[in-house]
Structure 1
């Protein structure tokens, strides 16, 4: 009888609670467990309702903070106004600009791939779970403790994906750089269009510790499968744009990777203002990273490239960029580039037909005059032939320096301080003549000293007697 009573109590349907339903709508499995617990211990129902209310408030607060706010006029709110998210980039592309909220990123969408304990660098520096979803197709990062989606981007909004070796690391690592549309630092989004931020994460050149397919199958267990290869495979399968990697046929640095002996380097160290970084010359464009904000110069946005401040050890690279469908240009200067990489960079520029504006009229005043004022002969030589017009600034500076050295050697005359050679006379005759003259001068001096004669009187004769004493002095 007691057994029948227990069975009847468990089979009785549990009335629906709107507070619990609302809080756990996105987690049906968890909602069922809550109802099962209330069914077994009805006295715990008030506790679960309080938990559901608190959960609902947290979800509402997270959605509010992640929502993109439009640009508003300064209303005197003080520091709070600086924390507003921007709707369109206005050329700044600041951190966290226009990131999509967790609701827009479809937190409950089925997964195609996920990898745990991934080190992200941009837009947040922390370890998160990398996910690629089905359905709408999102690439996103989820907090491993709270299970909340931190940030992400829709797959069809991604314009460039790069996989680049991390420079100056003892252990080999790779940075994946995801660059959405209007987030390359060059193109500004149209009015009212959100520009998701770039995403950068790092993986080691080793098998992944926790990478799974959407069906729960662990990946990277086969021999030779690394985290970098696994991630690249899933990105290539789900993106219209394929992952771009450095290529020796495009560019290789003349300076090998110091931290990993014998390994080729594909980067160039450079500075943009006070910020240091690395330039990667790729098959689709040039990237400057890896600190925020990343800048990617696609070939279609490069108006010209030039060299300035060419010195013995370093030079500057200037890239004039033009946004798509715009006539306005912006120049980016990257300084302190090692002179050893000049030849490889120059070959890359010529290979892709990028215009070299080093000798443009507007830039001549900014170039350093290494050899001083040009001579008339140098100016005339500068106008000879179209080949010289195509010289780069470094090559021209080197040629002028060599010409100046040749002119200095021609002007130097080691015999200019001595007397000129007489016609028909030999060096022996000159020696004899000099010897005779020296002997005669010595004889005259000795005679003067022996005789004690008044040389002035002998020289002037009777005229010396007529001169006043003051004139003689």
Structure 2
């Protein structure tokens, strides 16, 4: 051992300074004790270790906050069953997760001793479970193409009960986090069965990550299935810019200042992919309306009702949607019998009577209230009318003098009637009236 070599090795320095010998002996004894303790600890550890905690060098990592307020995922009641030892059935290495953490983790499908099946993510470096959810608590699973990527990719979005952005969880129930991970469009090379057998051994040549995971998840899901977009339901009128010739199934929109993508699916409308994700299930949608309709963009307003608290309603405004996608969205809303509330009383334009005369409503619409769509169309027509009124025919050289001369004659003869009436002869005949009068 190094300590023994240090003690028994002849050293001229110790001969020259014999007072240092006790110090060197203490250092050697301390080093020997550390090595013996390390060897005994290593021999006492079982092999393999499935939940070993590794202390890394450097500053301690920040603790991640989760939905129910606990600092650590392992101390969360929602994670109690997820992190326990279970039978590993399928695992896929090096999956790129975006929500709730942005890192590469191992995706796992497990069955616990209590016959409860889980979907969870493991940190391969630390061999720790980061997050997960029981299949019985999953409300929606979506497989959606990732927009604006040069290479085709798909996002799997797992939305647990009580975390769809609309309905709050029931009192006393644990809160599971929404999960989003990305898979490439290729064969599942990093997918394995629990025994370690590569999934590609029993897969067809056309099998991809998305198709393999859809099949695996559908086998475990009881009350829902993996939902994918369909061209029959909705496809954007704007083609995919990075992959020409392909249909795009997303619509770019903003919720406040946050940019995201809308997907119109067979079970509802999804807005993602950044937290908080929102899924507008058909059962939660009260009405849909269009507001702020302009030449290039419009807003989509969705009024929702919580499934856990029917008295609670909330409206979401998704803005700056391209007008090119209006026909497709409107057709989708009508086909799924979603109530269009654009003509509802709260949406009608108010009669402000600005520039009105003698009780007439603004712009002479006779007191009829109008929707936002009608208002936008009227404003465009009024703008065109103003441009026509601003046109001066007297500025044209081909007007035969009818422009300025008629204006002058109106000034000279328009006020001849002292009673304030109109001189119809003068207005109709103009300069020809002088010959008649003569």
**TM-score between both structures, scaled by the size of structure 1:** 0.65
Identify if the C-alpha distance between structure 1 residues 151 and 209 changes in structure 2 by more than 3 Å, giving closer, same or farther.
same
Contact 1:99–1:152 at 8 Å: present in 2 too? no
1:338-353 equivalences under 5 Å are: 338-353=322-337
Name the count of aligned residue pairs.
Answer: 357
User: C-alpha deviations, 1:171-198, integer Å up to 9, x for none?
Assistant: 0000000000001011111222111010
Contact 1:114 1:129 in 2 (8 A): yes
- Quick check: 1:87 aligned with 2:64? no
Larger Rg: 1
- Taking the aligned partners of 2:351 and 2:95, their CA distance within structure 1 comes to 46
Distance change in 2, residues 1:150/1:97 (3 Å): closer
Distance 1:426 1:211, change over 3 A: closer
Instruction: Show the 5 A alignment for 1:446-457.
Output: none
Q: CA deviation at 1:109?
A: 1.5
Report how far residue 319 of structure 1 moved.
1.2
Matched, 1:359 2:346: no
Matched residue SS, 2:348: helix
Pick the aligned partner of 1:148 from 116, 120, 128. 128
Q: Do the aligned residues in 2 keep the contact of 1:158 with 1:181 (CA within 8 Å)?
A: yes
Aligned-pair CA distance for 1:360: 2.3
Unpaired runs of 5+ residues, structure 1, are 1-41, 62-79, 384-388, 438-473
From the superposition, tell whether residues 95 and 331 of structure 1 become closer, same or farther in structure 2 (CA, over 3 Å): farther
> 1:368 & 1:226 partners in 2: Cα distance?
60
Local SS of the residue matching 1:235: helix
Question: 1:316: Cα distance to partner?
Answer: 1.3
C-alpha distance 99-280 of structure 1, shift in aligned 2 (>3 A): farther
The whole-number CA distance in structure 2 between the counterparts of 1:213 and 1:83 is 30
Secondary structure of the corresponding residue to residue 217 of structure 1: coil
- String of CA shifts for 1:104-155, please: whole Å, max 9, x gaps: 1154322221111111100111111111113310000111122211110000
Please give the TM-score of this superposition, normalised by the length of structure 2: 0.70
Q: Secondary structure at the match of 1:375?
A: helix
**Match of residue 185 from structure 1:** 165
Partners of 2:74 and 2:336 lie apart in 1 by: 33
Contact 2:79 2:131 in 1 (8 A): yes
Q: How does 1:31-70 map to 2 (within 5 A)?
A: 46-48=40-42
User: Mean Cα displacement is larger for which, 302-311 or 96-105?
Assistant: 96-105
Structure 2 CA distance for partners of 1:326 and 1:160, relative to 1, 3 Å: same
> Residue deviations 1:383-411, cap 9 Å, x none?
7xxxxx8xx74356326644785799799
Paired position in structure 2 for 1:417: 407
Question: Any gaps of 5 or more consecutive residues in structure 2?
Answer: 1-35, 56-61, 394-401, 411-423
* Match of residue 376 from structure 2: 397
Give yes or no for the alignment of 1:217 onto 2:197. yes
CA deviations on 1:222-261 (whole Å, 9 max, x unpaired) are 3111111100110111112110011112111111110100
**Which of residues 177, 187, 205 in structure 2 aligns to 1:207?**
187
Contact 1:319 1:332 in 2 (8 A): yes
CA deviation after TM superposition for structure 1 residue 361, in Å: 2.3
Higher helix proportion, which one? 1
Distance in 2 between the 1:97 and 1:296 partners?
28
Contact 2:298–2:321 under 8 Å retained in 1: yes
8 A contact 2:250–2:263 mirrored in 1: yes
